Structure 1
Amino acid sequence: MVLKLVYIIIVMIGRMYPLTCAQYQNQAIISAQNQKETIARFGCDSKCGNVSIPYPFGMRKPKCYASEPFEIECRHNKNGSQGEKLIAPYLKYINLEVMYIDLEYGTVGIKNPIFHPGCDNTSTGINLEGGPFVYSQDYNSFVTVGCQNAALLLSNDTILTACVSVCYDDPKNANMMDVSSCRGKYCCETSLPPYLQAYNVSVGTVEVKSEIKPECGYGLIKADYFQFNYVYDEYNSSYWVPTLGNLKKVKDVPAVLQWEIPIHMPNNSFPEFRTDADSYANYNCSYTNVTSAQSKSGWRCTCKYGFKGNPYLDQGCKLAMEDSPERNKTRLKWAIGVSSSLGTVILLLGLWWLHKVIRKSIATKRKEKFFKQNGGLLLKQRLSSGEVNVDKIKLFSLKDLQKATDHFNINRVLGKGGQGTVYKGMLVDGNIVAVKKFKVNGKVEEFINEFVILSQINHRNVVKLLGCCLETEIPLLVYEFIPNGNLFEYIHGQNEDLPMTWEMRLRISIEVAGALFYLHSAASQPIYHRDIKSRNILLDGKYRAKVADFGASRMVSIEATHLTTTVQGTFGYLDPEYFRTSQLTDKSDVYSFGVVLIELLTGKEPISSAKQQELKSLVSYFLLSMEENRLFDIVDERVMKEAEKEHIVVVANLARRCLELNGKRRPTMKEVALELESIQKSKKQSAAQEQHEELELPGIDDFQL
């Protein structure tokens, strides 16, 4: 054991002082020359300005790039501080400047235009269709900036997502600014849809009860690592600008594209190697589906472990210098020479032990720092006050959650929203869980809020919180895994194997109504969800509803009738009375549930667009159809076939009451749940009576002898 420890220390010495031996130094130089990395084809330029251009990308000659979409054009820009010309690469076929190219992850950093549609609701956009590039859903977000603005992200006249940013107070007050998380105040941030290639942006104004007048807004797609922070403009006391400068003057922001080699590309485009290389090759190639959800659309290659370089070139992947036999042999020879000095070994043994102690101390301090940073002290205060049920909550270690999620692999992502990203994971005991990594940017109120609220809830139709992890830079929550996605996907997606029957729609609406009634009336303290929508209603293995996403929820005292707070919610589901007054009540959840109810009844999305790209509200369309006695024209075809018309009318009238502009006229969630349950009971009684009539046997008097 002692000899083994001595050998380890000797090897450590070799790593710490590699250039003290002339023989080792000469061998390292020779090895470095042999291992010089090649990223471009022979005879092709590998750099434009400060950006490396690896094959399959290339410049000037057709042989230097795989196909036209991968052609890079080196241009001179007048972007220097003194107006000097700078050299920058551009993707020629889409005319966008390239910031970097990453072969390992298959990404390209670009400078993406900021659209300034102005106040006339005009719209402009970008089209990548026909090429191997898409806007990455994992690394980008759609952002709206401005006061009283609604921005739509569209593709081929279809709304993909929308964001509303409002201002209620004077932007001069720096302490009131809250833009780091972009949750709707001064700016709004939402996730991108997958496989996005073509899009355009439309910006309009919304009416808000505020003294701040609407201003021309901006809609943009930006990389997640690019953050907005606001500073005061000394030259114009009435104007706020982001640190990157006045948005009116800025042309672009960083964004990330993903790419793949098209599957239909001829083999002779890559004469150096075959994509079906045998096991002895030093690279791996696999099929991908970056640009299409239907099937494999292309492929990407990576160097095998222990190799580095460009896998798209012949012999492009070379043995890493650190693992080369020459380096290991030289290190061993040098280490044997050092072993003669026993005093050095003892000294280094002490240093090694001291190093371990220091590392352990640093790790402990980092955990304490993250614990405080992620609201650990606030959480301890809640624990001591009895607000959190400790028996139900488990503290997970970061190591366990990293192992469960394969180090938070992007292939494990279940969903991504304004609060953070949710990953699928498997614990050591075999249980499947969902792990939410919060995007808090130093603000932990939403994380603590969701943790405290879910720890108080015990209802079969509310997602169950299993535990949390506070010893990492970003706080983590662990929930039960809900396997069948969300209600929005189930209503609006095509699922012929398990169609959305009237019976299932009615049952799901009863389950959600019961969960909200529990939150409003049966919980230890009333809880207002604030973001009820079909995307926040998950479906378990038996397609039972589970209400989720409590980051925006609020607890109120039993005596309070309302809570004044900053408006939060989702466009299309947001209570207009709450939007105007900023006073949150239980009736705001009733309004949002009413939108979900007509979504179930009609099968239509809460917002849609006409050919003129105007915003079309499902609520307005539904109420107008009710007034004009055209209800059955907008009801889903399957509902019309399976449900009795009198039941459809009852549900529609209930939804209309939930959507009253005056919150006092809306029913409570208890009344809503009871009325839906009565419809279900009536349906079951009617079915039982019909079955009884069919099975009734004739009497003796009915026979003639």
Structure 2
Amino acid sequence: MFGQCGKTVRIVVIIGGIVAGVSLMISLGLLCCYIRRRRSKMKARKSTKLRLCQATGTCSIPIYPYKEIERATNSFSEEQRLGTGAYGTVYAGKLHNDEWVAIKRIKHRDTDSIEQVMNEIKLLSSVSHPNLVRLLGCSIEYGEQILVFEFMPNGTLCQHLQRERGDGLPWPIRLTIATETAQAIAHLHSAINPPIYHRDIKSSNILLGYNFRSKVADFGLSRLGMTEISQISTAPQGTPGYLDPQYHQDFHLSDKSDVYSFGVVLVEIITAFKVVDFSRPQNEVNLASLATDRIGKGLLDEIIDPFIELHTDAWTLSSVHKVAELAFRCLAFHRDMRPSIMEVAAELENIRLSRWTSISEENNFTASELSSTSSSSNESEKPLNVTVNKAGIEDQGSLSLKTEIATLISRERSNDGSPFSVQDPWLSEQSSPSSNSLLSKAVQ
């Protein structure tokens, strides 16, 4: 009997040892898998970092783990989707610093998509301007290609012009947006060596912040230029309605291609028409053709957005017509007939600043009238001493513009109920077609 009990104990001990051994082996196996996966992730991140360094020439771009991006977007929730274009989908998200960012998840359309991402990272990391959207980081893991940008709560210029957000923008704000956009493009063309040609300037790529400061976005199609030659040959790519017709004809890309596209944006700002609209007569489907026809015939008033209230004051009437004339020159078929973007930016700034000169002159005239009236009044009354200086008038004008902006921001927030509306798409549904994003040598 005792022998049988001893035998049972030995069996239990053996079984226990086997179980312990198996458990240890499983634990060791899991540990090995964990270490292997961790090493694999670290190796992948090092490889990504190296690739970014080689492609962009800098290792300063933050790389976010994919899991962090996934958490920030609530697993790319539809509720946080801001918009979808030809290149990918943009989501609102909060990263570890609890600040809202825009997360662009690139579509896997072709083998060039990774090159397009590298191209955009390279260009964005090489420029810095208050009117160019800032790249905050990227994530390239698990076959994903993700870019993280600063968040722009007021959507795009296109959305406001098409009344998808708000009821419209006052003319002074539209003119300021146009001026800032031109300055950003001018920075790309002239302040950087080699220059950068954006190739996809359009109203849906002009993003707006809380104070309606504009920022140019989407550098996926951009190309570096070389200053030794004036143009490069490349297959024309861009968005229908904005594409330089001469570039489309001879495949020669230059800085004037961006000028043409910006000319279309100026016409959009004036008319609030769609760039391509098949509901219009056949010869007016293309907005550039429609606008050049009306401006050339002196019939601009037929296509001006009624929201602008053209006859509110002399400055509005004059400035709208001056911007239209500038747009007409930008839309010239031959590139040599178009102004440079630096000239365009300077002219827009002069038109914008002329508002305060106009207000100053009007107020000085009113002050003179009041002073004259006071001096001829009853001698028992003290003469009214009215002095109005130019600086004071400029302050009043600035206050007026700030009030307009504050009113629009208030309207946006009251409509959305939050700093941003995830119900409104951030990007145009019709973005640029896919392209070969290998960096080509270009010239001005």
Change (3 A) 1:676 1:611: closer
Contact 1:527 1:554 in 2 (8 A): yes
Pick aligned residue for 1:356 from 17, 20, 31? 31
Residues 379-412 of structure 1: per-residue CA shift (max 9 Å, x gap): 22245xxx33x44x22211122111111211221
CA drift at 1:651: 1.1
Shift of 1:470: 2.2
- Which residue number in structure 2 is paired with residue 80 of structure 1? none
1:413 is displaced (CA, Å) by: 1.2
Q: Secondary structure at the match of 1:609?
A: coil
Name the CA distance, whole Å, in 2 between partners of 1:658 and 1:624. 14
Deviation, 1:506, is 0.6
Separation in 2, partners of 1:356, 1:638: 67
Q: 2:84·2:90 contact (CA, 8 Å) conserved in 1? A: yes
Residue 609 of structure 1 aligns with an amino acid whose one-letter code is F
1:652 is matched with which residue?
Answer: 324
Between the aligned partners of 2:280 and 2:258, the Cα distance in structure 1 is 32
Distance, in Å, in 2 between the alignment partners of 1:345 and 1:433 is 50
Instruction: State the shift of 1:422 in Å.
Output: 1.2
Counterpart pick for 1:405 among 73, 82, 88: 73
Q: Aligned partner of 2:33: which letter?
A: I
- Distance in 2 separating the partners of 1:408 and 1:338: 53
Letter of the 2:168 counterpart? P
RMSD: 2.5
User: Which residue is 1:532 aligned to?
Assistant: 201
Give, in angstroms, the shift of residue 615 of structure 1: 7.3
Q: Distance in 2 between matches of 1:428 and 1:380?
A: 24
Q: In structure 1, what is the equivalent of residue 135 of structure 2? A: 465
Segments of structure 1 that go 5 or more residues without pairing to the other structure are: 1-336
Cα drift, residue 588 of structure 1:
0.3
Once the two structures are TM-superposed, the CA of residue 581 in structure 1 deviates from its matched residue by 1.3
Partner of 2:277: helix, strand, or coil?
strand
Q: 1:701 to 1:480 in 2, by over 3 A?
A: closer
Structure 2 counterpart of 1:358, which letter? C
Instruction: Provide, for residues 20-56 of structure 1, a one-character-per-residue CA deviation record: whole Å limited to 9, x for no partner.
Output: xxxxxxxxxxxxxxxxxxxxxxxxxxxxxxxxxxxxx
Instruction: Tell me the CA shift for residue 500 of structure 1.
Output: 0.9
Amino acid at match of 2:138: C
CA spacing shift, 1:477–1:648, aligned 2, 3 Å: same
Contact 2:311/2:317, CA 8 A, preserved across alignment: no
Which residue in the other structure is 1:566 paired with?
235
Structure 1 distance, partners of 2:287, 2:224, is: 30
Q: Which amino acid aligns with 1:463?
A: V
* Residue 500 (structure 1) aligns with: 169
Q: Which residue identity does 2:343 align to in structure 1?
A: E
State the distance in 2 between where 1:653 and 1:614 align.
21
| Residue 305 (structure 2) aligns with | 636
> Where in structure 2 are the equivalents of 1:388-403 lying within 5 Å?
388=58, 390-391=59-60, 393-403=61-71
| 1:435 is aligned to 2:103 | yes
Which residue matches 1:477?
147
Note the alpha carbon deviations across 1:617-652, whole angstroms, 9 max, x for none: 111111111232211111111332445333222111
What is the TM-score when the length of structure 2 is the normalising length? 0.75
| Residue equivalent to 1:344 | 19
Cα separation, 2, equivalents of 1:395 and 1:470: 8
**In the alignment, which of 446, 451, 464 is matched to residue 116 of structure 2?**
446
Q: Which residue of 2 aligns with 1:365?
A: 40
TM-score, normalisation: structure 1? 0.48
SS at match of 1:406: coil
Higher strand share: 1
- Identify if the C-alpha distance between structure 1 residues 648 and 609 changes in structure 2 by more than 3 Å, giving closer, same or farther: same
Query: Distance between the aligned counterparts of 1:491 and 1:677, measured in 2?
Result: 21
Give the corresponding residue for 2:398: none
- Asked if 2 retains the 8 angstrom alpha-carbon contact of 1:370 and 1:472, the reply is no
- How far did 1:589 drift? 0.3
Fraction of identical pairs, as percent: 36
Contact 1:367 1:472 in 2 (8 A): no
**Structure 2 residue corresponding to 1:517, chosen from 161, 179, 186:** 186
The one of the two structures with greater contact order (alpha-carbon pairs below 8 A, sep at least 6) is: 2
Structure 2 CA distance for partners of 1:605 and 1:371, relative to 1, 3 Å: farther
- State the distance in 1 between where 2:296 and 2:141 align: 57
Is 2:360 the partner of 1:688? yes
For 2:28, the aligned partner's letter is W
Q: What's the counterpart of residue 602 of structure 1?
A: 271
1:362 shift after superposition: 4.0
Aligned partners of 1:550, 1:408: CA distance in 2, in Å?
23
Partner of 1:379: 52
Helix, strand or coil for the counterpart of 2:332? Answer: coil
What's the counterpart of residue 416 of structure 2? none
CA displacement 1:57-100 (0-9 Å, x = unmatched): xxxxxxxxxxxxxxxxxxxxxxxxxxxxxxxxxxxxxxxxxxxx
Question: How far apart are residue 347 of structure 1 and its match?
Answer: 2.6
Q: Distance in 2 between matches of 1:417 and 1:585?
A: 25
Give, in angstroms, the shift of residue 563 of structure 1. 1.8
Match of 1:456 in 2: 126
2:149 partner SS: strand
Residue by residue, what CA displacement relative to the aligned partner does 1:411-459 show, whole Å, maximum 9, x if unpaired? 2111111221111110122111111111244431100000010001111
Total equivalences in the alignment: 361
Q: Are 2:220 and 1:547 equivalent residues in the alignment? A: no
